[in-house]
Structure 1
């Protein structure tokens, strides 16, 4: 059989409770306990203080760690260990709610620098074995097994086990792998045997392993679509697969209806993309307390300026510029609003981004208190650091915001 005749085998690899697992390498005495990551940020100063007191991080008594039950604030959980998840605690959950569910959980601060370090390490291990890899974030990737030695053996299990063992040896971390004919099924399969599992799905397994699952298990069926399907009496993927294409198009539109029909039958021809360009970069922050324009104008202004500066720093560091600038607000009632404007010339300059974003902000209702503020730059192209020029032409018909002659950072926020 020539390589082109090989059946397609795509893997989805997901690190197990990634942030929490990295922390357990630092604090092995917390293994097997409910642990939550979130709230404050880890600092070298805090770690140094712990070392001075206890001599080694692994020597800190379990009873000396902070508990989730004592948390007061508005933070959200980044991740939790599997023992904590048994209490209903999960990622993106408000920490006050989680504290009611599992007050005895140990609370650790977030250390993104350390997580990125381990993320790079496990991905390098994968690339050394299977070079066709799509990076999907800090803790998950897709891998094309099709032509890699061992990628066809036992449906991909042999290669998946080899990668698991290599990651464990290099980083001390575990991962779960799903291998299937495409990315859609592989992602679903990677959840079947967590943690540290391998799940193989073949085309003939669709009826027995995929169709009994809830529709929401399909990546791309969100809360609204899931609720609409339930209203129509459809809860399982098999029930969705039994629906005709015309019926789905009638209820969900031509594009989404056709997509639902395809994915319910396990069809997905998306390639594993080894390199992709970002379409936007953004920074946002959730406040410790709700802020109001009237009482907290100076504080909001400082935060807004810093967000613009951080987006500009990201663009400059990664070599991009953009011409669409937008803002995002979430009010105290959790309703969100966005505004954006596209300008004539590309930019990666903080002052320019601040000025344009400020014009967007003037179009946002500001009667309510605000809990989140964000700034986004889109329509990205590569930026030539030598000539300070973008690699694309000005956008025909683009609008230039008013107020360009004023000092951008001295403009009123609202």
Structure 2
């Protein structure tokens, strides 16, 4: 019997910070802001005092934050106030002004990420890395992986991770990745949920459609327009109707997902499909009044994406731009390349072409550039050299670009 687990660390960034500052346990704590501290938002100063003994007065409060930063994560105590990931820090301050604000420390989070994943691989080597704080694990042929539907092995992994790191995690075990992902949310934090095929109608079908990983707000809204709000209601829709509403590929996937079908393997290695860079502005920038500043930022983002591609050995087949407006609405526009490329001039030229198809009437709060359809540089080379824009061409394209 196939048994697949999805393991999700509990409030990972916040939990790592609570290991460093145990005096904050039980308090509303928000992690976010810039990667580097601005002058007005400094980390707690130890001055030779152990971090675990710092008084609460040494920590910044959310009410005092001024800037455009967003929340990366928050403790469960903070979430009780309606504070959550991706929320602006200024908005969060209105909901929970007394929350303690800590900076993001990605180096520390990556260190703990490597530690908990090493623990897992000692017990169950077939593991798919899905980011800094979550993985899929194939329990099927691992000793204990079939006992109690996988619960025995899940308990061992939980215990081993806690002993090695002091961190807790939630695990869902199911016949496939789709259901395992959903199950890992059932008993947070520090819980284990086991789903069998016979549980589909009782445990999965009553859930709203957006609980299926891959159904976003737009699809959920469109389903609701047709009176489909739960996974069970989605499962009862005729396949031809779903195909008519969403097209052949997406309609078929929705039908299969509602019936809990997913044959994707746990992949121990996967190639990235995109690389991106983006920046949130300190103040809103208007595409026309702030054209020069936006142009410089736009070019720098393209240069950063190009450097990432070259450093990691990939070329892109398409470039996309991402715009977030002052009303928080987001749009993306993509431009395919004539041939796979990894140089900044080619990316900048294509990104400028994509930008011309985006609405530019409202002020912007975020700008991003993404390289899509990645190929290994050595594989791309087999199709011929990537086109390189001359300095004259690149300069002309910058002049023609909207900013």
Q: TM-score, normalised by structure 2?
A: 0.89
The residue aligned with 1:334 is 328
Deviations 1:154-197, CA, capped at 9 Å, x for gaps: 11111111111121122221110000011111111101111011
Specify the SS of the correspondent of 1:229: helix
Partner residue, 1:223 = 217
Which residue number in structure 2 is paired with residue 175 of structure 1?
169
Within-5 A mapping of 1:106-185: 106-185=100-179
Give ranges in structure 1 of 5+ residues lacking alignment.
1-6
Post-superposition offset of 1:58: 1.6
Which residue is 1:207 aligned to? Answer: 201
Provide the rounded CA distance (Å) in 2 between the counterparts of 1:23 and 1:150: 33
- Aligned residue number for residue 406 of structure 1: 392
**Matched ranges for 1:207-286 at <5 A:** 207-286=201-280
Aligned counterparts of 1:171 and 1:301: Cα–Cα separation in 2:
45
**CA distance in structure 1 between the partners assigned to 2:77 and 2:43 by the alignment:** 28
Q: 1:380 to 1:235 in 2, by over 3 A?
A: closer
Distance 2:216 2:43 in 1: 44
- CA distance in 2 between counterparts of 1:340 and 1:213 reads 34
The answer to whether structure 1 residue 90 and structure 2 residue 90 are counterparts is no
3-state SS, counterpart of residue 233 of structure 2: helix
Given the alignment of the two structures, is residue 317 of structure 1 paired with residue 303 of structure 2, yes or no? Answer: no
Q: Aligned in 2, Cα 1:297/1:251: closer, same or farther, shift over 3 Å?
A: closer
Matched position secondary structure for 2:280: strand
- Decide whether the 8 Å contact of 1:323 with 1:377 is kept in 2: yes
Task: Give how far 1:250 is off.
Answer: 4.1
How far apart in 2 are the matches of 1:44 and 1:294?
28
What secondary structure does 2:319 align onto?
A: strand
Tell me, in whole angstroms, the C-alpha distance in 1 between the residues paired with 2:349 and 2:215: 37
2:181 maps to 187
- Name the counterpart of 1:4: none
In structure 1, C-alpha distance between the alignment counterparts of 2:163 and 2:97, rounded to whole Å = 34
Shift of 1:409: 6.8
Distance 1:346 1:268 in 2: 32
Quote the Cα distance in structure 1 between the aligned partners of 2:322 and 2:246.
28
- Taking the aligned partners of 1:242 and 1:351, their CA distance within structure 2 comes to 51
How many Å separate the matches in 1 of 2:84 and 2:278? 22
* Aligned 8 A contact 1:25 1:172 in 2: yes
Which ranges in structure 2 are unaligned for 5 or more consecutive residues? none
TM score, norm. by length of structure 1: 0.87
Q: Which of 383, 386, 389 is matched with 1:393 structurally?
A: 383
Please, which of 365, 369, 372 is the counterpart of residue 366 of structure 2?
Answer: 372
Q: How many residues align?
A: 399
Does the Cα contact within 8 Å between 2:336 and 2:350 map onto a contact in 1?
Answer: no
What SS does the aligned partner of 1:142 have?
strand
SS in 2 for 1:33: coil
Q: CA RMSD, aligned part only?
A: 2.8
CA-to-partner distance for each residue in 1:236-256, whole Å, 9 max, x for gaps?
222332333344334444333
Distance in 1, Cα, partners of 2:265 & 2:205: 23
240 and 382 in structure 1: CA distance in 2 versus 1, 3 angstrom threshold? closer
Tell me if 1:348 matches 2:342.
yes
Shift in CA distance, 379/260, structure 1 to aligned 2, threshold 3 Å: closer
Contact 2:6 2:184 in 1 (8 A): yes
